[in-house]
Amino acid sequence: MKAKEHIQSVLDHVVKRDPGEREFHQAVQEVLESLEPVIAAKPAYIEANILGRIVEPERMILFRVPWQDDKGNVHVNRGFRVQFNSSLGPYKGGIRFHPSVNLGIIKFLGFEQIFKNSLTTLPLGGGKGGADFDPKYKSDAEIMRFCQSFMTELSRHIGADTDVPAGDIGVGAREIGFMFGQYKRLRNEFTGVLTGKNINWGGSLIRPEATGYGAVYFAQEMLRTRGDSLEGKICVVSGSGNVAQYTVEKILQLGGKVVSLSDSNGTIYDPDGIDEEKLKFVIELKRIRYGRIKEYAEKFKGVEYHEGTRPWGIKCDCAFPSATQNEISLADAQALCHNGCCLLCEGANMPTEPDAVHFVHSSRVLYGLAKAANAGGVAVSGLEMSQNSMRLKWSREEVDQKLQQIMKAIHKQCVDAAEEFGAKGDLVAGANIAGFRRVADAMLDHGVV
């Protein structure tokens, strides 16, 4: 069978088998449609049905998460862990707590994670997990009881050499702490079973910063190819959580100006720019008080707040989506281009809808695909695992240096793979091909498993 028909038959099968998993179909389509030249070049990939196997998780775990709120009411949520691919190392990928979580979303995130982790060149397989739990407006005690219940079941399936989860939307240092505590109690062992741990008890310096910093380093690499830099650039950032906060911090350090942030309620536009002091306010607002971004507009003069909108209509040079999937529609992408945006760098996972991706692709906009641009987080998680195994701690400068090297190397891999397969300058194809090839070759080596 020819590469093109083979890819189409795998895509058709994925949709037919799990018709409701829209985000998963989207993620699979985006990867597979880049792979025709690499599949055509190596018949062994078709003979060993690598594609048919790579789209099917090695294991999917679904479980009940019962917990009690502060008033004694009993609630039930659904927990997920999708152990997608372990060809390159233990499953690795975050845990998301958000009411929208379902199996299709966890599968999309786990599928993306396989190729992202491969691009880091670290020994990491791909996985993802989460629960349809809404942490908003919950007390610390409720969050703790939920995390303990979630980990009570999850602990049977993970381990430092098996599957090493981290944070994602709704899961930060507080939640990782509660889950680690419960794992340690149940298993009577102190191991690097989770990353994103507090620096006092096994975490890595720069891990909280890594996804945001990494995305900005990747943007810098893209701009460098045009002899340009972030100096003086007007940037819009969406979200106001972990990735957004450190994206803003690094843009400021590199001389750019950030004029927006958002949350699921709305967007703030600050024409004067978010400076270090204002960023401190955002960090306190989001990390300590778990408040709404609207308060930023109430606190600082000259700031506009737009309920129910996203920041893509704001005039900018560079855009950093850092909230969630499918947050940039075709109309948003057109507005960005129309307003002169020259760079789109994805801190969030799959933030750009497929028709918007095609539009951006056909424009002159530099486009950093999530699985390459936001790989800094998992890369430093990999470094956290190394430090845990060696029982030592690297300095801030050392980890930051390694992160910069990794982001540079990922950019180079994307450029080189695109060029090798006749798609010069196409970083989307480059990321998908380079990420895929390493996993596929390992799968060939391991036989039909």
Active site residues: 128
Q: Which amino acid is at 420?
A: E
Q: Note whether 77 binds ligand NDP by CB under 6 A.
A: no
CB of 228 to ligand NDP, least distance (A): 25
Among 120, 204, 242, 267, binds ligand NDP (CB under 6 A): 242
User: Which residue(s) pair with 128 in the sheet?
Assistant: 82
Q: Which of 14, 28, 82, 243 binds ligand NDP (CB under 6 A)?
A: 243
Neighbours of 184 (CB within 10 A): 16
Of residues 264 and 363, the one with the C-beta less far from ligand NDP: 264
**Nearest to residue 239, comparing CAs of 267, 216, 217, 277?**
267
- If you compute the radius of gyration of the chain from its CA atoms, what whole number of angstroms results? 21
Distance CA 31, CA 33 (A): 6
Alpha carbon 305 to chain centroid distance? 27
The contact mask relative to ligand NDP for 244-283 (x = CB under 6 A, - = no) is: x------------------xxx------------------
Distance of closest approach, residue 134 Cβ to ligand NDP, in angstroms: 9
Task: Give how many residues touch ligand NDP by CB under 6 A.
Answer: 23
Q: Which is nearer to ligand NDP, 176 or 365 (CB)?
A: 176
Residues 231, 233, 234: CA angle, nearest 5 degrees = 145
221 binds ligand NDP (CB under 6 A): no
Smallest distance from ligand NDP to CB 375, Å: 8
Q: DSSP of 78-109, one letter per residue?
A: EEEEEEEE-SSSSEEEEEEE-TT--HHHHHHH
Q: Give the binding range for ligand NDP (CB under 6 A) out of 27-35, 137-145, 298-306, 346-354.
A: 346-354
Angle at 328 between CA 326 and CA 329, to 5 degrees: 95
Site string for ligand NDP, 377-416 (x = CB under 6 A): x---------------------------------------
Q: Among residues 79 and 170, whose Cβ is nearest to ligand NDP?
A: 170
Is residue 110 close enough to count as binding ligand NDP by CB under 6 A?
no
Contacts of 313 (CB under 8 A, 6+ apart): 332, 335, 339
In this complex, which beta carbon is closest to ligand NDP, that of residue 242 or of residue 352? 242
57 near ligand NDP, rule: CB under 6 A: no
- Least Å distance between CB 165 and ligand NDP? 12
Among 83, 324, 387, 432, binds ligand NDP (CB under 6 A): 324
Smallest separation (angstroms) from ligand NDP to the CB of 404: 17
| Structure-block tokens of residue 351 | 């933030």
Query: Does position 21 bind ligand NDP by CB under 6 A?
Result: no
323 is a contact residue toward ligand NDP (CB under 6 A): yes
Q: Is 148 in the site for ligand NDP (CB under 6 A)?
A: no
Structure-token match 């002091």, residue found: 277
| Residue 427 to residue 423: CA distance in whole angstroms | 9
Examine residue 10 and tell whether it contacts ligand NDP (CB under 6 A): no
Map residue 286 onto helix, strand or coil: helix
Write down the least CB distance from residue 72 to ligand NDP, Å: 27
Single out the residue of 240, 260, 387, 388 in contact with ligand NDP (rule: CB under 6 A).
Answer: 240
211 binds ligand NDP (CB under 6 A): yes
Cβ neighbours, 10 Å, residue 363 = 16
Query: Which residues, in sequence order, are bridge partners of residue 78?
Result: 64
Q: What are the tokens at 395?
A: 């300095």
Burial class from Cβ neighbours inside 10 Å (0-12, 13-18, 19+) for residue 287 reads middle
Handedness of CA 323, 329, 335, 336 (dihedral sign): positive
The single residue among 322, 352, 388, 432 that binds ligand NDP, judged by CB under 6 A, is 322
Buried b / exposed e over 198-224, threshold 16 CB at 10 Å, is eeeebbbbbbbbbbbbbbbbbbbbbbe
Distance CA 14, CA 26 (A): 11
The residue whose Cβ lies closest to ligand NDP is 241
Residues of this chain that bind ligand NDP (CB under 6 A):
167-170, 172, 211, 239-244, 263-265, 322-324, 347-349, 374, 377
